[in-house]
Structure 1
Amino acid sequence: MARHTHDLTVAGDLVTKRYTSWERDEHRREWTALVLVHEHAPDLVPRPMRADLDANPPAVTMTRLPGEPLSGGELGPALLRALADALRTLWTVPHDDVPPLGPWRDDLGFAARLTSAPRPKGDLLAAAYDASLAWWDGPDPALLRCPPPGTVLGHRDPNLLNYLWDGRRVRIVDFEDAAVSDPATEIALLLEHLSARDAGAERLLDRLPVDPTRLRAARRVWAMFWLTLLLPGGPAAARNPPGTADAQARRLLRLLDA
């Protein structure tokens, strides 16, 4: 989510993605998801053309999609409607027993990345860390360990750059993190992604209602994860303006206090 994982080569209407890391089966996740989604919702994702999954580095070739990324400010009503439609369509794709996408697993390890690390320096960062440690004694971890009542095929990489708007509809790219998920977690991932902070993405909840308790718990997890990335020396620290980690700490504290 926060590192460079691939290189792209564009040749006419085809895009070849070569992976610079694939220890989590990113290449197999992407190919499997593209094949699966294209079978059931062919206009939602690039058409998978060929894969060299055992090469070094592995590569996947797909068609090039039209459109511009959903980035650069608040999403208007048409964009929000199209994004909701795209996510709703993705969630209808059959996904049971499809390796390497499943089975469902909880995301608590992403919260533990923060709380298992040393306590950060600075009053604000330390306060967010301490509140996150206390969170483990509350009800959220037990809730999130329980499988959700219904699962979906999760995109799991909701950077707004991965949603392309052609003036009529939104299509989805970058499935290297695809996995079995649930709607509340998918919305939490999107709302807490740094790219969505000024997009007004909370209005998606008017179109994609989800379990509010599970959503709140999942948002806390992913806010912790983002603070981990943004801490001094973290993989996202150098790519963001000074003060971003403190802003994330404040956001996390608000979520934990909610």
Structure 2
Amino acid sequence: MSQTHSVSICGGVVIKRYVDWARGEHLREWAALQLVSAAEPDLVPSPLRCSWGGTSGCSPGGIGTGSAGADGLSILMSLVPGRPLAGALAPEELAGLGTALLELWSIPADDLTPISYSAFVDRVREAMGTWRGTGIVGAAQTAATAWLSSGVLDQYYEPSVPVVGHGDPNLSNYLWDGSRVRIIDFEDAGRSDLAMELANLVEHLACRTTDWTPLIDRFTTTGIRTDANHPGALQLHAGRFHAARCLWAAFWLTMLRPGGPAVDRNPPNAGNLQAARFLSLLPTYS
């Protein structure tokens, strides 16, 4: 997958320069950083300036044009402490991540651009039909194609529990300083759904060596939002969460298929393992 940005650090300031912004990544990140930093100042980098071609302020007019002046598009933000999480998380790291996510998901997301899961399902469905697998990969592809076309996901397109969606739960985007977790890289952010966001984390390839049961249990019980105008509980709906896990597992199957975009960065047997994982999640195969 191509990189959408480069990052440099000058003193206590991070300069994120975009080389691709076709999906409005800069606008999503700027809006999310402003919203979250205002509500939870120590959870994310503080947004300092968004420059478009050397001028202050984000301009939506450049989305998809591929041109932003000599200096390009850049977002300046504060440097936050911590090292990226990786591998199997220690209990204290997992607890810290859970606290950070609770803080993030307790912030009302009304003003953010929605993340379209109907478009995501269409994308996964289309990708599933561009190849033909064999063995267990072929069995998973056949099952995924039927499941994606069954309409079971239609009821989940609109958020049940709207939250600030981070959109990219690679563990490297969560920084641990020994006592708390901070979150970076919001270019895929938007208004999302609790079940979809948690499933995205649990099913991410970078997160497979951690037992997520304590975190899932944490959101299975009721958590209260911090804003008095949004008292709805942050409570996970089991059926919705399971469907979301199947969706993300199907996505990773398309990424790890023979010749897929993520094949070269993963072990040779990753595709077979992903196929087995997807089949284990489907009710028919569980």
TM-score of the two chains, using structure 1 as the length reference:
0.91
Aligned counterpart, 1:124: 136
Q: Does 1:144 align with 2:159?
A: no
Corresponding residue to 1:168 among 172, 175, 179: 179
Aligned counterpart, 2:19: 20
Aligned counterpart, 1:63: 78
Check whether the contact 1:49–1:61 (CA below 8 A) recurs between aligned residues.
yes
Corresponding residue to 1:114 among 120, 127, 136: 127
Q: Which has the higher contact order (CA 8 A, sep 6+)?
A: 1
Kindly provide the amino acid, as one letter, of the partner of residue 223 in structure 1: A
Task: List runs of 5+ in structure 1 lacking aligned partners.
Answer: none
Q: Which has the larger radius of gyration?
A: 2
Q: Does 1:78 align with 2:92?
A: yes
Q: Does 1:247 align with 2:273?
A: yes
The more displaced of 207-216 and 229-238 is 229-238
- Quote how far apart the aligned CAs of 1:152 are: 0.7
Question: Secondary structure of 1:52's match?
Answer: strand
CA distance in 2, matches of 1:228, 1:45: 31
CA distance in 1, matches of 2:93, 2:126: 34
- Quote how far apart the aligned CAs of 1:105 are: 4.5
Count of residue pairs the alignment pairs up: 252
CA distance in 2, matches of 1:184, 1:223: 14
Aligned counterpart, 1:204: 215
Query: Which consecutive aligned stretches of 4+ in structure 1 deviate over 4 angstroms post-superposition?
Result: none
The more displaced of 212-221 and 76-85 is 76-85
Check 1:38–1:187 CA distance in 2 against 1; reply closer, same or farther (3 A cut).
same
CA distance in 1, matches of 2:37, 2:96: 18
CA distance in 1, matches of 2:126, 2:38: 36
Aligned counterpart, 1:237: 263
- Quote how far apart the aligned CAs of 1:140 are: 2.6
- Quote how far apart the aligned CAs of 1:203 are: 2.5
Q: Does 1:97 align with 2:111?
A: yes
Check whether the contact 1:16–1:59 (CA below 8 A) recurs between aligned residues.
yes
Kindly provide the amino acid, as one letter, of the partner of residue 108 in structure 1: V
Aligned counterpart, 1:11: 10
- Quote how far apart the aligned CAs of 1:227 are: 1.2
CA distance in 2, matches of 1:223, 1:112: 12
Kindly provide the amino acid, as one letter, of the partner of residue 101 in structure 2: L
Q: Does 1:34 align with 2:33?
A: yes
State the identity as a percent: 44
Task: List runs of 5+ in structure 2 lacking aligned partners.
Answer: 53-58, 60-67, 221-235
- Quote how far apart the aligned CAs of 1:104 are: 5.8
